[in-house]
Amino acid sequence: MALDTNALARIYGSADPQALAAQERRYARALEAFARRYGPGEVRAYHAPGRVNLIGEHTDYNHGYVMPVALDKDVLLLARPRRDGVVRMDNLEGGFPQRTFSVAAEISPQPVGDWANYAQGPAEILEREHGPGLHGLDALVDGGAPYGVPRGAGLSSSSALTVAFAVALAEVNDLGLAGPALADACSRAEWYVGTRGGIMDQFISVLARQEHALFLDCRPAADGSGYAYRHVPLPAEYAIVVADSGLRHTNTGPHYNRRVAECRIGVRLLAARYPGITHLRDVEDHPWPEIEPLLPEAIDREELLAMGIDPARILDSGVDPQTDTFSVRRRCRHVVTENRRVLDACEALEAGDVARLGTLMNAAHESARDDYEISTPEIEALVRLALGLPGAVAARLTGAGWGGCIVALVAQEAAGDFAARLVAGYRAETNRQAQVFVCHSAAGAGLVLQTRV
Ligand code: NG1
């Protein structure tokens, strides 16, 4: 497997020849750096893409539906197998100190936020479930701009690193772990870092197919056969445009886990009427007007404790102790209605009905803003500006929220102009610089090349 544009086209196929040549230079630079860092010998290159979510926000951890698309922005991880169980991690970018840990040892977590956690998580899971005695590796990560996944932008940079490392570790150890089983291991691995997240990001990074979205049902099948998903072709006449507000969030902060807790409180309250339910997904067949009166707009800690529900125990990581009041009704309304929208959006995409898809995406934004309350003034500015530009049929915040990116659906021929005008409008309004790019959906994670340096 040599480094050539054919190998790269299989991964970044929809990119133009110039973009492929640029990727070739990126890989060559990374290979040189690997040789300088670890000496001459064998090296394997793995990639794992980030993603943009078309629709289905904060539904995954409620066992709902999502519909993400992989980006051609990714994490590239170069690796050489070792005979022992040691992992050495280095990064081409500054600010990510070199790390060494042992796959076989009982792993003690680094402080949350350390980038090596995203490798230690999958190492721990794979060693426990496929070990003992896995071989380690020497690794060099390349995730910097403009090829890498922007970090903290709601485009799944953390999952891309988790998946890239897991793919490499599984492959050098010949574990035969791929597809949904690998994605599932990666999503459990990310809990290690502290976010009580769902499975969307790892599944799209592993299962992505060029020019397709992934419709994923985040509820595991009762018979243990895993998750249902299908690839849905994207409309060729429309571009998926991503605009990064430049504002950053961190998932491991209290906000995200608090939303997870509010959904779980909703389930506990609904269980009085619908015994045996475990997730908001379980009420999908009940009309919202039937559910709504069962859920308080807000409920505080004392009231919950009196009902035998301890909010501090509702997540195994605990919730932010400062939050005394929980907004239950509107959070649940977002999740329940969003699940319906994803099903409808998938149907619309399969029928080639882009106008309907756009309407659903716009409604998803309003729900995320008003009911889930995860938008910000900057994101609102981007969405409003985007919807006012020629060729745009939809614009909504994408990812966890609290900053990050919007995703827009724009007629192909208008996309270039759209990007320029959005950047200018956003700067005029907020004095901030937006990064806008068209998403060329890439292939899922895997080995890209095997060579010697
Ligand atoms: P981002 O946007 O990458 O922070 C997070 C979760 C997803 C999903 C979305 C909201 C992780 C790794 N990712 O993604 O599972 O819940 O928020 O839809 O926790």
Polymer length of the chain:
453
Q: Which domains does the chain have, with CATH numbers?
A: 5-234+441-452 (3.30.230.10)
180 ligand 1 Cβ < 6 A: no
Ligand 1 atom index nearest CA of 398:
2
- Catalytic residue (one of 74, 142, 201, 371): 201
Q: Would you list the DSSP string of 331-347?
A: HHHHHHHHHHHHHHHHH
154 ligand 1 Cβ < 6 A: yes
CA distances from 397 to 158, 229, 363 (A): 19, 23, 11
Q: How many helices (H) and strands (E) does the chain have?
A: 13, 14
pLDDT, position 49? 98
Atom 1 of ligand 1, nearest CA residue = 154
**CB-side neighbour CA atoms (13 Å) of 64:** 28
334 ligand 1 Cβ < 6 A: no
pLDDT, position 432? 97
Distance of CA 157 from the midpoint of ligand 1 (Å): 10
Ligand 1 atom index nearest CA of 58:
18
pLDDT, position 114? 86
pLDDT digit string (tens) for the chain, length 453 residues: 567 778 888 898 766 888 889 999 999 999 999 999 999 999 999 999 999 999 999 999 999 999 999 999 999 999 999 999 999 999 999 899 999 999 976 555 555 568 999 999 999 999 999 999 999 999 999 999 899 999 888 899 999 999 999 999 999 999 999 999 999 999 999 877 766 678 999 999 999 999 999 999 999 999 999 999 999 999 999 999 999 999 987 654 678 888 999 999 999 999 999 999 999 999 999 999 999 999 999 999 899 999 999 888 887 655 565 568 999 999 999 999 999 999 999 999 999 999 999 999 999 999 999 999 999 999 999 999 999 999 999 999 999 999 999 999 999 999 999 999 999 999 999 999 999 999 988 999 999 999 999
Tokens standing for residue 206 = 């592993």
73 ligand 1 Cβ < 6 A: no
Tokens standing for residue 305 = 């404790």
- What does the alpha-carbon distance between residue 231 and residue 222 come to, in Å, rounded to a whole number? 22
Distance of CA 63 from the midpoint of ligand 1 (Å): 13
Ligand 1 atom index nearest CA of 159:
12
- What does the alpha-carbon distance between residue 126 and residue 133 come to, in Å, rounded to a whole number? 10
- What does the alpha-carbon distance between residue 61 and residue 66 come to, in Å, rounded to a whole number? 10
57 ligand 1 Cβ < 6 A: yes
Q: For residue 198, what is the enclosing H or E element?
A: none
pLDDT, position 173? 98
403 ligand 1 Cβ < 6 A: no
Told to judge if 184 belongs to the known catalytic residues of this protein, a careful annotator would answer no
Distance of CA 270 from the midpoint of ligand 1 (Å): 25
Whether the ω angle into residue 293 lies within 30 degrees of 0, i.e. cis, is no
Distance of CA 93 from the midpoint of ligand 1 (Å): 24
Ligand 1 atom index nearest CA of 60:
16
- What does the alpha-carbon distance between residue 347 and residue 359 come to, in Å, rounded to a whole number? 13
Distance of CA 158 from the midpoint of ligand 1 (Å): 10
The CB density around residue 353, as the number of other CB atoms within 10 Å, is 16
255 ligand 1 Cβ < 6 A: no
190 ligand 1 Cβ < 6 A: yes
pLDDT, position 256? 85
195 ligand 1 Cβ < 6 A: yes
Distance of CA 431 from the midpoint of ligand 1 (Å): 28
